[in-house]
Amino acid sequence: MKFALVSLQFEETATGGGGVHVKNICEQFLKEGHTVTLISIHTEKTLIKAQLQDWYVPFSIQNRENLSVVRFLIDRDISQPYVGEKNVELNRIERFADAVIKWIKMKHNEFDIINLHGHHILPGLMAKELKSMGIKIVSHIHSLESTFVSQKGESLGSFNATQEVLTKLRKWEGMSQFADFIIVNSPTVRDEFQEILNGQNVKVDKVADKIKLISSGCNEDFLISDEEIMQKLSQFPETIKLVTFCRIDPSKGIEYSINGAKAAARLCSHKLCLFVVGIPASDEYLKRIYSELYEMPDNLNIKFKLLNAISPPDEKKEILDDTHIYILPTLKEPFVCLS
């Protein structure tokens, strides 16, 4: 079959688990003998070797056997897809979606299934606009951003947002209803999506059968045996090292890891060190995280390792192997254990 996968995050433009998820899906389709066109965005990194073609929006195509990587140049001089104030970011994503919709409609005979990945505009607005093509549309909802920017939330990601922004986000998120299948990664995201539909007077019963719960799962490369775990924990370390390793954004609740470490240190006589590792979503969110570093127990140290790209497997293993406790960094996704 011929698949089109649309995602802002792929390889050089990946900023977190969403990019890893898309890469894994792409590789699985290729292993099964399918043809994949991966449609993404250009950033500073991807433009270095790109050969742009003139069109409505300049784009490049890189062919790799059964995989074609198509990237659109929406903005120059951006380090990652989400930089800038919220309105700037949303405007960029909307312009990207507009270009991709036009391009796919021009190439509609080349695809059997279109997979849309993201938070709002891509799985939502694009599903609605592509519905009339007669091609199967699968919307993967990685997160519902309006549930984090709401002023009613408790997490640090619940920053003040104008009613106009919230209304737009919810409208786009609700448009995922037009897909043939809607993939959510946790029961919480499923329930929140249905609440959004209820708020838009959509009959949820007519959509419920299309909603499928598929968690992202565990990366088997980083699982270790019971024997290795026991060996690692057989001696008490001088400092107990904890790690939260993820894209540093509001959906992960980094502040809960920090406050949890502070609470643990107050109950513990041993030295603790929490490492926060990942790509920051924005300077604004980092400032909010740093604001949690007050009234620190004497036996706790918190260190940040800020990245600008997804770590290769060897680097991930090095980071994880040097710690004792991994704190799951997510507010919405379930923990999946493979035995």
How long is the chain?
339
Asked if residue 225 and residue 149 are part of one domain, the reply reads no
Q: What is the pTM of this model?
A: 0.78
Both tokens of residue 133? Answer: 């093509």
b/e sequence 220-242, b meaning 16+ C-beta within 10 Å: eeeeeeeeeeeeeeeeeeeebbb
Residue 308 lies in a domain: yes
What is the C-alpha separation between 192 and 238, in angstroms, rounded? 43
Q: Structure tokens of 183? A: 């993939």
The residue segments making up the domain with residue 260 are: 220-326
Q: Is residue 337 in some structural domain?
A: no
50 contacts 79 by C-beta, under 8 angstroms:
no
Supply the pLDDT for residue 333: 61
Residue 156 has a pLDDT of: 47
Q: How many domains does the chain have?
A: 2
Within the chain, which residues score under 70 in pLDDT? 148-161, 216-222, 329-339
| pLDDT value at residue 47 | 92
Domain boundary among 213, 245, 264: 213
314-333 tens-digit pLDDT: 787 888 888 888 887 666 66
The verdict on 71 and 172 lying in the same domain is: yes
Q: In terms of domains, do 7 and 111 share one?
A: yes
pLDDT at 102: 96
DSSP 8-state code for residue 221: G
pLDDT for 16? 77
In a domain, 147, yes or no: yes
Q: What is the CATH number of the domain that holds 310?
A: 3.40.50
Regarding whether 275 and 191 lie in a shared domain, the answer is no
Domain harbouring 198, CATH code: 3.40.50.2000
Burial pattern 91-111, b for ≥16 Cβ within 10 A else e, equals ebbbbbbbbbbebbeeeeeeb
pLDDT at 122: 95
Is 332 inside any structural domain?
Answer: no
Q: Are residues 174 and 253 in the same domain?
A: no
Specify the pLDDT at position 255.
87
Shared-domain flag, residues 225 and 123: no
User: What pLDDT, on a 0 to 100 scale, did the predictor assign at position 175?
Assistant: 95
For the stretch 61-104, pLDDT in tens is 999 999 999 999 999 989 889 888 878 888 999 999 999 999 99
Whether residue 207 sits in one domain with residue 224: no
DSSP line for 101-155: HHHHHHTGGG-SEEEEEESSIIIIIHHHHHGGG-SEEEEEE---THHHH-TT--S
Q: List Cβ neighbours of 156 (8 Å cut-off, separation of 6 or more).
A: 250, 254, 255, 285, 288, 289, 291, 292
Residue 339 lies in a domain: no
Helices and strands (H, E) in the chain, number of each type: 12, 12
Select from 213, 228, 246 the last residue of a domain.
213
Say if 130 falls within a structural domain: yes
Q: Are residues 232 and 192 part of one domain?
A: no
State which of 213, 236, 268 marks the end of a domain: 213
* The residue to which tokens 């699968």 are assigned: 138
